[in-house]
Amino acid sequence: MRRLTCLQSHLEWLPQNGSGLPKCLLMFRSNRSSGGATGDPKHVHRMSHKLGMGSALETLCGQAVGAGQVDMLGIYIQRSWIICGATALALVPTYVFTAPILRALHQPAAISAVAGRYTRWVIPQLFAYAANFPLQKFLQAQSKVWAMTFISGVGLALHVALNYIFVARLGHGLFGAAMIGNVTWWIIILAQFVYLVSGCFPEAWKGFSMLAFSSIAAFVKLSLASAAMLCLEVWYYTAVLILVGLLKNAQLEVDIMSVCINYQLWAVMVALGLNGAVSVRVSNELGANKPKAARFSVIMAVSTSAAIGAVFLAVFLAWRTELPRVFSDNDEVVSEAAKLGYLLAATIFLNSIQPVLTGVAIGAGWQTLVAFINIGCYYLVGIPLGFLFGFKLKLGALGIWAGMSIGTLLQTVVLLIICFRTKWKKQAMLAEGRIREWGGSTETLPAATNGSIDR
């Protein structure tokens, strides 16, 4: 069985999801103060929809491939398209009415107006994400990552070039950035779909089938559990931004927080590459009934992410006063963002590990459990502490970020304890039952055919 390496997963993730960073950079370098928050409503719905409703497919595809049931993948991806498409349609009103929603949350009028216009312009991307994530996980589960990397790399190059021409040079601003995003995302999806139906997957893809509508209710149930886990996590950062928007001098505070979040994304991108790799490895090994190999994959992924996080931490501490200038020319924003340096560095280290643990949860099918952990750590601890530090103790953005970091630390510690105390043999048995429930046989190939021994 072919393995998905962390490098491959990161290379695939970066072109598709890193394309927003040049756009953010252009907005900040243009001194458009509202640009820092503009992307957040769109980003929230994108990530919660894409990573949420679609991550059930990640669990099922990975475990099916591990068990040798590749023929089920075509049905799984079609079910996921149906569910993600319906979810995208249900989310359209939140895109249309972003501005009044933000005003109702007492956000500054200027930020609400710009965000409202931008989210309406990027509605086509909402449906692009619904189509892309099932395609991405279908290919990733079969280790077809280099093809995805090539397609996404071409899309990224086109995206950056068009943003430079139409946003930076011709000054079309947010409207230009939104339209370019729409075009490049659909080009990527069209290329991936052509690859899917081109005959490269004779066992996994046998055409569209009405079987996709069978057992749809059970698939929705698993998808909702996945969505709850990841939506709660993504919305946590939005809740933090909303709290910052309630501070005095909200415009400055939001800009400071946006600089910190955008810089943190560079480190998170690497962690999300590891997230995809460990999710596939854990699900493959559990599906193949190799619990010790699954546990070893978890140990290696967590150790690697911690080492990478330590490098990011050291780099940021060394350059904490200068790095904010990458995203802003405003001296006051740069100065205040630099004051968050030590706390931001610690958060970056935590966020280098936490996405990997989420990947383990997806690979093992723990979405419901992690959803409850997120509620406790983020919404019962992190946000209340952020409110206490930021408003009652008058620490402003620093206090809110500190509360958020404590919630993230608690969640990371809890997930680490769960991962290293889990009985992986039992998880392999649960994976076997899951494959049987979803219509596949659990008779796997002998270990030797997979190029490894049963461990």
Given this model, what pLDDT does residue 51 score?
63
Q: How many folded domains does the chain comprise?
A: 1
Residue-by-residue pLDDT tens, the chain, 455 positions:
344 444 444 444 444 444 444 444 344 444 444 444 444 444 555 556 556 667 778 888 888 888 888 888 999 999 999 988 988 898 899 889 988 988 888 877 887 888 889 889 999 998 998 899 899 889 888 878 888 889 989 998 999 999 899 988 888 888 998 999 999 999 999 999 999 999 899 999 999 988 888 778 878 887 888 888 888 887 888 888 888 888 888 778 878 887 888 777 777 888 888 888 899 899 999 999 999 999 999 999 999 999 999 999 998 888 888 888 877 778 888 888 888 888 888 999 998 999 999 999 989 989 889 999 999 999 999 999 999 999 999 888 889 999 999 999 999 999 999 999 999 999 999 988 877 776 544 444 343 333 333 43
Given this model, what pLDDT does residue 10 score?
45
Given this model, what pLDDT does residue 52 score?
67
Q: Report if residue 421 sits inside a domain.
A: yes
Given this model, what pLDDT does residue 49 score?
57
Q: Report if residue 449 sits inside a domain.
A: no
Q: What does the alpha-carbon distance between residue 329 and residue 311 come to, in Å, rounded to a whole number?
A: 26
Q: Report if residue 452 sits inside a domain.
A: no
Q: Report if residue 53 sits inside a domain.
A: yes
Note the pLDDT tens digit of each residue in 162-188.
Answer: 989 998 888 888 899 899 999 999 999
Q: Report if residue 448 sits inside a domain.
A: no
Q: Report if residue 444 sits inside a domain.
A: no
Q: Report if residue 454 sits inside a domain.
A: no
Q: Distances in Å between the alpha carbon of 370 and those of 231, 285, 375, 414?
A: 11, 21, 9, 10
pTM of the shown model: 0.77
Q: Report if residue 415 sits inside a domain.
A: yes
3-state SS string for the chain: CCCCCHHHHHHHHHHHHCCHHHHHHHHHHCCCCCHHHHHHHHHHHHHHHHHHHCHHHHHHHHHHHHCCCHHHHHHHHHHHHHHHHHHHHHHHHHHHCHHHHHHHCCCCHHHHHHHHHHHHHCHHHHHHHHHHHHHHHHHHHCCCHHHHHHHHHHHHHHHHHHHHHHHHHCCCHHHHHHHHHHHHHHHHHHHHHHHHHCCCCCCCCCCCCHHHHCCHHHHHHHHHHHHHHHHHHHHHHHHHHHHHHCCCCHHHHHHHHHHHHHHHHHHHHHHHHHHHHHHHHHHHHHHCCCHHHHHHHHHHHHHHHHHHHHHHHHHHHHCCCCHHHHCCCCHHHHHHHHHCHHHHHHHHHHHHHHHHHHHHHHHHCCHHHHHHHHHHHHHHHHHHHHHHHHHHCCCHHHHHHHHHHHHHHHHHHHHHHHHHHCCHHHHHHHHHHHHHHCCCCCCCCCHHHHCCCCC
Given this model, what pLDDT does residue 455 score?
39
- Domain carrying residue 336: 6-436
